[in-house]
């Protein structure tokens, strides 16, 4: 078991809540920040996040607050779990706190995806480093791996990667995650791990669509789904190396093939379900139907265009066809 630490988790969606619950179950002093009053009330009074992680009981020592500065102030560890589009504005709200301004807080992030900008899509850590004090450059920890919140929250075995250019920071987060149910590993390939986390969702949407088609098709089946996953992993690796990934092992580890596999195949996979829904409900026949579906699934439809933009920027050959 890890020594008890104070932790603030910024973002009480399903993944932020599941991760916070795992740390709280392991004995850490954890506080969650949520925007919604009803989420905070549900966690503090009923020990359940009824809005984003319903049906799963949370430890009584896991607390929540709508005051982001209260959640972040004085904490030894801060973990960002806000959606990528809101990551920078959220982080800016706490950068003046002494534990960040003076560098005593260890900062990690769970957010997956790319961040749109005037200069094109940015990586998550790159975006955070542009907001944080300069001494955090190279010292932010990116946490990823095959980790559906539903299983993490109830303590099912889950492997995670703590990726940072600073080996001490990676080890600190690895030790923080030494709690029941979590197995943490270090990595220095921060770019590669981020690319795996961001790009696999696109493959999972297509996988879900193919899975739905396969139910009534004489042409597509398990073999085609395996072909798609292998080609998708190859494409992720190609993009990763073009953007600065450093280790081939990243793509064959839990950060790469592990996360891709669970995202494509798990019953919890939102992107997989979205792909299935596109086929089963003929969703694309009326483009405006994408908006309510996006809201139900909390998907950011703009995100898949980011890897496409990167492919064009690097003039990469892509094994999967794109429009």
Catalytic residue, from 112, 122, 200, 310: name it: 200
Instruction: State the pLDDT at residue 2.
Output: 77
Handedness of CA 273, 278, 281, 283 (dihedral sign): positive
Burial class (CB in 10 A: 0-12, 13-18, 19+), 76: middle
Distance CA 260, CA 307 (A): 16
Q: How confident is the model at residue 234 (pLDDT cuts 50, 70, 90)?
A: very high
Q: Which of 44, 113, 59 is nearest to 82 (CA)?
A: 113
Distances (CA, A) of 36 to 5, 25, 39, 268: 26, 23, 5, 24
Give the mean pLDDT of 232-259.
97
Looking at every residue in the chain, the average pLDDT score rounds to 91
* Edge-to-edge strand ranges of the sheet holding 158-163: 63-65, 29-33, 6-10, 77-80, 106-109, 141-144, 158-163, 182-187
160 alpha carbon, distance to own chain's centre: 11
CB 84 within 8 A of CB 113: yes
User: For residue 9, is pLDDT > 60?
Assistant: yes
pTM of the model: 0.88
What is the DSSP annotation of 104-163? -SEEEE---S-B--TTS-B-HHHHHHTTS-GGGTT--EEEESS--HHHHHTT--EEEEEE
Q: Which of 188, 37, 166, 152 is nearest to 107 (CA)?
A: 166
Instruction: State the pLDDT at residue 120.
Output: 87
Q: What is the pLDDT of residues 13-53, one digit of tens each?
A: 999 999 999 999 999 999 999 999 999 999 999 999 999 99
Handedness of CA 289, 295, 297, 302 (dihedral sign): positive
Strands 63-65 and 77-80: unpaired
Q: How confident is the model at residue 297 (pLDDT cuts 50, 70, 90)?
A: very low
Instruction: State the pLDDT at residue 294.
Output: 47
Q: How confident is the model at residue 298 (pLDDT cuts 50, 70, 90)?
A: very low
Instruction: State the pLDDT at residue 193.
Output: 98
CA triplet 161, 43, 88: central angle to 5 degrees?
A: 50
Instruction: State the pLDDT at residue 313.
Output: 59
Instruction: State the pLDDT at residue 17.
Output: 98
4 is known as an active-site residue: no
Give the mean pLDDT of 107-128.
94
CA triplet 230, 236, 241: central angle to 5 degrees?
A: 130
Q: How confident is the model at residue 320 (pLDDT cuts 50, 70, 90)?
A: low
Q: What is the pLDDT of residues 276-292, one digit of tens each?
A: 999 999 887 766 555 55
Q: Which of 176, 197, 201 is nearest to 186 (CA)?
A: 176
């Amino acid at each position: 078991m890890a020594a008890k630490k104070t932790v603030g988790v910024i973002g009480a969606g399903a993944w932020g809540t599941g991760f916070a619950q795992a740390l709280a179950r392991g004995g850490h002093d954890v506080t969650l920040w949520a925007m919604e009053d009803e989420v905070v009330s549900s966690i503090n009074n009923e020990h359940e996040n009824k809005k984003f992680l319903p049906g799963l009981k949370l430890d009584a020592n896991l607390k929540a607050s709508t005051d982001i500065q209260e959640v972040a102030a004085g904490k030894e560890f801060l973990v960002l779990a806000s959606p990528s589009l809101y990551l920078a504005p959220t982080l800016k709200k706490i950068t003046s706190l002494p534990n960040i301004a003076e560098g005593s807080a260890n900062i990690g992030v769970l957010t997956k995806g790319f961040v749109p900008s005037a200069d094109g899509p940015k990586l998550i850590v790159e975006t955070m480093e542009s907001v944080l004090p300069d001494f955090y450059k190279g010292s932010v920890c990116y946490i990823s791996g095959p980790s559906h919140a539903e299983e993490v929250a109830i303590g099912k075995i889950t492997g995670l990667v703590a990726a940072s250019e600073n080996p001490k920071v990676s080890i600190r987060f690895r030790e923080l995650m030494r709690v029941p149910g979590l197995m943490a590993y270090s990595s220095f390939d921060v770019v590669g791990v981020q690319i795996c986390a961001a790009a696999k969702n696109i493959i999972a949407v297509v996988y879900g669509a193919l899975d739905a088609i396969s139910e009534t098709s004489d042409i597509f089946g398990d073999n085609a789904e395996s072909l798609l996953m292998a080609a998708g992993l190859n494409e992720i690796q190609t993009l990763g190396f073009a953007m600065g990934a450093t280790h081939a092992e990243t793509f064959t580890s839990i950060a790469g093939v592990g996360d891709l596999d669970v995202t494509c195949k798990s019953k919890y996979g939102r992107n997989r379900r979205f792909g299935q829904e596109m086929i089963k409900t003929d969703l694309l026949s009326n483009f405006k139907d994408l908006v309510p579906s996006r809201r139900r699934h909390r998907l950011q439809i703009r995100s898949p265009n980011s890897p496409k933009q990167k492919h064009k920027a690097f003039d990469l050959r892509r094994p999967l066809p794109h429009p």
